[in-house]
Structure 1
Amino acid sequence: MNDTVIVGVDGSPSSLAAVDVAAREARLRGAALRIVHAFSRPADLDPMIHGVLAEAEQRARAGAPGLEVTRTVASGDTLTVLRSESRHASLAVVGRPGRSALGDLLPGSTVVQLAAHGHCPVMVVRGRPDPRGPVLLAVDGSPAGNAAARFAFAEAELRGADLLALHVWSTWSEPTPYEGPADPLNVVVDLDRLRSTHRRLLEDAVAPWRTARPGVAVELRLERGRVRHTLLEAGRDAQLVVAGARGHGGFAGMLLGSVSQALLYHADCPVTVVRAEE
């Protein structure tokens, strides 16, 4: 694994918060930190950006004394630059989408595309990046979900945190229909059999990593309901949510599954999206 964590910086409060988190992640991994800024116009190379980068470096060193920190300023659009930098990184960290002091470095579409096409896991810092609560793993049984499980167990071990593996299922794709006593699906569908099938999916998804990292305390949770809503609710008490870049559902043309996108935009804590291993 590459021993560098990269963080995208644009001068916004969210990107500076991302520097704090990225420094902590680099320290946990025993990795170096590289602060990255992309510019598309020569006018962007003014004293302001140098001041932003200097502040970012100062925050990183203050938060993680002794950390190896470097800066990179590259010409090109943000997605291209960060995707290229991610080839040589173990983790890419960015702030949540929003306006910055230097322009829109990381609009929402760029965050989604980086999470979908980056060459390493991508962490979006949002909500409360406090090192408390469990690491929440969204389990869906997909190849990307398997890669996410591997990352989540490693992250929980690094943080000394518990891991909550949550799989949400329903008899229909979202939105879940009414599930009262008169629901005809309770007549034509064997719900107990479906529940058992999804329970096995959940257990199989985490089994290899429970064996590989026996020191991580794991809670398995199976819930029937709306996937996005349930995961967002569970994320309120988590310190990190980990999800695969694409699940089984969604449209072929989508960059990310709808669940991953909902987490990136609405979670109450940082979210890491992990692509399936190629």
Structure 2
Amino acid sequence: MNSANGAAVVVGVDGSEPALRAIRLAATEAARRHRPLRVVHGFIWPLLRVPVDPGAGAPPGGGLRHQAEHLVEEAVAEAERTAPGVRVTGEIIDGEASAVLLGESPTAAMIVLGDRGLGGFAALILGSVAIQVGTYADCPVLVARGEEHPDGPVVVGVDGSPASRAAVEFAAEQASVHGTALRAVHAYTHPVSGGPGDMQPLVHDETQLRGEEERVLAESLAGLQERYPDVPISLDLVRERPVAALTAASERARLVVVGGRGHGELAGLLLGSVSHAVLHRSTCPVAVVRTPD
């Protein structure tokens, strides 16, 4: 995550109800992190050569660009109501939504989006915006969905991959910022092949298998308690599929954090079934943390 002084929390808006929830979540994050909030609207119409200014004889204040200005102004006002004292700015940027947000990501502390949207943000979870922003953003991407459980922990999915370790670090930071606990969930079902062509054993020792999975979980959190002494950390090893485990955990969580890529059943997280399922089924906000290239 960009930790440079002054890096803003960026929220994508489109005038929809989910975007309104994203604004409130983003404002809260900015306040807790003592960062400015930047409200951004991707204005795609000029790219499509659609007239955006009022036509001859149109009433004052008409036209697509004026509508965009109005929705950004409303978003800024909502953010200021949610988090008084946070410095909030708004901007309309010509371009397709995912391209605009990816352009913001190198200098952003995080990007916040609603789980559905209008126009360029339509079908966020199933469409290209979520996949492209979550896969390629240079900062964590926070999807506002479900309900935050203020007394619940930050839950992070762990699988031992570099993406998982980045997610763990971000989750611990979130827990520290919000003054809550961290729950690390490592779900496993059966031995994972070590490489192409490897054969999985038909019979395996359950005790040995669990011991190996416990080691993966412990190594993924090594040194974390020392870096975040204020955060209560619990380790949860479950023999279950990752989607089911993380969905169940979301029912009492403040936030669920997943890595942008993993291995085993979390491999290709954003482009595979796990990511879509967690984003669809989680009953609280979800953060996706990509490992820097």
Structure with bigger gyration radius? 2
- Residue 208 (1) aligns with residue 227 (2): no
- Residue 164 (1) aligns with residue 180 (2): no
Partner of 2:282: 267
Tell me the SS of whatever aligns to 2:274: helix
Partner of 2:40: 36
In structure 2, distance between residues paired with 1:251 and 1:27? 32
Asked whether the 8 Å contact 1:121–1:275 carries over to 2, the reply is yes
In structure 2, distance between residues paired with 1:81 and 1:255? 19
Task: Report how far residue 235 of structure 1 moved.
Answer: 0.8
Partner of 1:142: 161
In structure 2, distance between residues paired with 1:30 and 1:277? 24
In structure 1, distance between residues paired with 2:267 and 2:25? 33
Asked whether the 8 Å contact 1:246–1:260 carries over to 2, the reply is no
In structure 1, distance between residues paired with 2:215 and 2:26? 35
In structure 2, distance between residues paired with 1:115 and 1:92? 9
- Residue 11 (1) aligns with residue 19 (2): no
Q: Which shifted more, 43-52 or 110-119?
A: 43-52
- Residue 194 (1) aligns with residue 209 (2): yes
From the superposition, tell whether residues 40 and 250 of structure 1 become closer, same or farther in structure 2 (CA, over 3 Å). Answer: farther
In structure 1, distance between residues paired with 2:25 and 2:266? 33
Tell me the SS of whatever aligns to 1:87: helix
Once the two structures are superposed, residues 204-228 of structure 1 have per-residue CA deviations (whole angstroms, 9 ceiling, x without a partner) of 1112221111110011110001221
Once the two structures are superposed, residues 150-193 of structure 1 have per-residue CA deviations (whole angstroms, 9 ceiling, x without a partner) of 100000000001111110011167xxxxxxxxxxx998211110
Task: Report how far residue 253 of structure 1 moved.
Answer: 7.5
Asked whether the 8 Å contact 1:144–1:276 carries over to 2, the reply is yes
Residue segments in structure 1 that go unaligned for 5+ positions in a row:
174-184
Amino acid at match of 2:121: L
Matched length: 264
Aligned residues with identical type, % of pairs: 40
In structure 2, distance between residues paired with 1:172 and 1:225? 13
In structure 1, distance between residues paired with 2:144 and 2:137? 16
Amino acid at match of 2:99: T
Task: Report how far residue 83 of structure 1 moved.
Answer: 0.4
Partner of 1:182: none
Amino acid at match of 1:33: L
Tell me the SS of whatever aligns to 1:73: strand
In structure 2, distance between residues paired with 1:252 and 1:215? 32
Partner of 1:179: none
In structure 2, distance between residues paired with 1:51 and 1:14? 17
Once the two structures are superposed, residues 75-123 of structure 1 have per-residue CA deviations (whole angstroms, 9 ceiling, x without a partner) of 111110000001110110000024x3xx242433211221111110000
In structure 2, distance between residues paired with 1:204 and 1:137? 14
In structure 2, distance between residues paired with 1:225 and 1:197? 16
Tell me the SS of whatever aligns to 1:34: strand
In structure 1, distance between residues paired with 2:288 and 2:175? 15
In structure 1, distance between residues paired with 2:264 and 2:116? 25
Partner of 1:105: 121
From the superposition, tell whether residues 154 and 62 of structure 1 become closer, same or farther in structure 2 (CA, over 3 Å). Answer: same
- Residue 58 (1) aligns with residue 77 (2): yes
In structure 1, distance between residues paired with 2:224 and 2:268? 31
- Residue 122 (1) aligns with residue 141 (2): yes
Partner of 2:247: 232
Partner of 2:195: none
Asked whether the 8 Å contact 1:33–1:67 carries over to 2, the reply is yes
Partner of 2:24: 20
Partner of 1:176: none
Amino acid at match of 2:284: C
Asked whether the 8 Å contact 2:149–2:252 carries over to 1, the reply is no
